[in-house]
Amino acid sequence: MSWFESFVLGLVQGLTEFLPISSSAHLRLTAAFAGWQDPGAAFTAITQIGTEAAVIIYFRKDIGRIISTWSRSLFNRELRHDHDAQMGWLVIVGSIPIGVLGITLKDAIEGPFRDLRLIATTLIVMGVVLGIADRLAARDETGGRHRAAKQRKTLTDLSVKDGLLYGVCQAMALIPGVSRSGATISGGLLMGYTRESAARYSFLLAIPAVLASGVYELKDAGQGHVSWGPTVFATIIAFVVGYAVIAWFMKFISNKSFMPFVIYRILLGIALFALVAAGTLSPHAGELAG
């Protein structure tokens, strides 16, 4: 991998990690369209450490408060009913599904799941799901001619059951094209949470899973066509760009719809299917290139 490739892929990772459009799919597609070799699951997982570092810094006050209260609650019973202490446990519980499935499906994640036809399918299907979830949220927030607006849940209403359901949604993002934020935010909206609450828990929930995945894949870094230097460079680029994107995204969702992302996902999926069907792009483009 050249330094230029690592710069572009790091930029793509930072731009797409927090948006509900799938960063892993865009890394895969960028390499395929450019005629580069697929950077692989290890490269993707490691560069995500950069974007998660951006999450940690952006939410540093929330994270510090949660860790502090959760740690103290282990020895102080009175703190166990505190919302921050409960959030600590809920993040742990919600991380279980992706941890189990990530190890179980490792070979599929690095192989069959990277087929461009599957990516096109997940882009479209999850786009439709996100659109439905967004529409339901908008209906509750605005009400209608014959119904009053409905109060949606916030993170103070988060239960163990909902935390696990969030975790299952996050685990779906092991398939490129699903999108970690897209799946968890859609799940949150369908469970009745506000857009801001769904996004905030989605980002907090991703921290343990992404960091664990990145550390686990470190053993494979520097192998094949992707060396350590470009990987680290791409991770730094992803961090800088990712921080700017998450700051913008949290402001965007406070009063905007997810429909632009829904339309983009569906159009990209259709275009990808068309290119593969026409023979312009191989379903395994990039796997043997370079």
Domain boundaries, the chain: 3-34+42-278
**What is the predicted pLDDT for the residue at 225?**
56
- Tell me which residue of 134, 277, 114 sits closest to 194, measured CA to CA: 134
Give me the phi and psi of 153, to 5 degrees please. -75, 155
**What is the predicted pLDDT for the residue at 96?**
92
Mind listing the pLDDT tens digit for each residue in 62-113? 999 999 999 999 999 999 899 999 999 999 999 999 988 888 887 777 778 8
Mind listing the pLDDT tens digit for each residue in 127-136? 999 999 999 9
Q: Which CA distances in Å does 102 have to 24, 88, 174, 232, 266?
A: 14, 21, 7, 23, 26
Q: Are 13 and 242 in contact (CB under 8 A)?
A: yes
The Cα–Cα gap between 109 and 175 comes to 7
Rounded to two decimals, the pTM is 0.86
* Ranges of the chain with pLDDT below 50: 288-290
Number of other CB atoms surrounding residue 233 within 10 Å = 17
**What is the predicted pLDDT for the residue at 288?**
42
> Six-digit token pair at 145?
């001619």
**What is the predicted pLDDT for the residue at 223?**
62
**What is the predicted pLDDT for the residue at 289?**
39
What angle do the packed helices 180-190 and 116-142 form, to 10 degrees?
30
End-to-end CA distance of the chain: 9
Give me the phi and psi of 193, to 5 degrees please. -90, 155
